[in-house]
Structure 1
Amino acid sequence: MFKEFKEFMMRGNVLDLAVGVVIGSAFTAIVTKVVEGLITPIVSLIVVLTTGKTS
């Protein structure tokens, strides 16, 4: 039973899918941090400078 499972897991499409999921989740985390740490403060600063409102 383990042999069949190992053969199934070693097929290219299953490994490609697993790698894609891992890369996708890492990319999601990176994009979230860039937006939270860089884009949101810049947009907030622009809004404060143009409207004078802080909230």
Structure 2
Amino acid sequence: MKMGIDALEKCEQMLQLQEMLLEVEENRLRGKRGHSIEEADEILRNVIDEAAR
């Protein structure tokens, strides 16, 4: 079966996302704390503000 470049790239992106989600879940099970959406939003806004200076 042949896959087009777009389909192959999409498949690769999905595999990368799956790996990231598995890592997050493993960290959660180990008790490692993550960031809430609000915390992540604040962190990103601060980084963007710093980069704009």
TM-score scaled by length of structure 2: 0.50
- Unaligned runs of at least 5 residues, structure 2: 34-53
Output aligned runs, 1:1-55, within 5 Å. 5-6=1-2, 9=3, 11-39=4-32
Runs ≥4 residues deviating over 6 A: none
Q: Which amino acid aligns with 1:39?
A: K
**CA separation in 1, counterparts of 2:32 and 2:21?**
15
**CA separation in 1, counterparts of 2:19 and 2:31?**
18
Larger Rg: 1
Structure that is richer in helix per residue = 1
Q: Which amino acid aligns with 1:25?
A: Q
How far has the Cα of 1:12 moved from its partner?
A: 1.8
Aligned length: 33
Alignment root-mean-square deviation, CA: 1.7
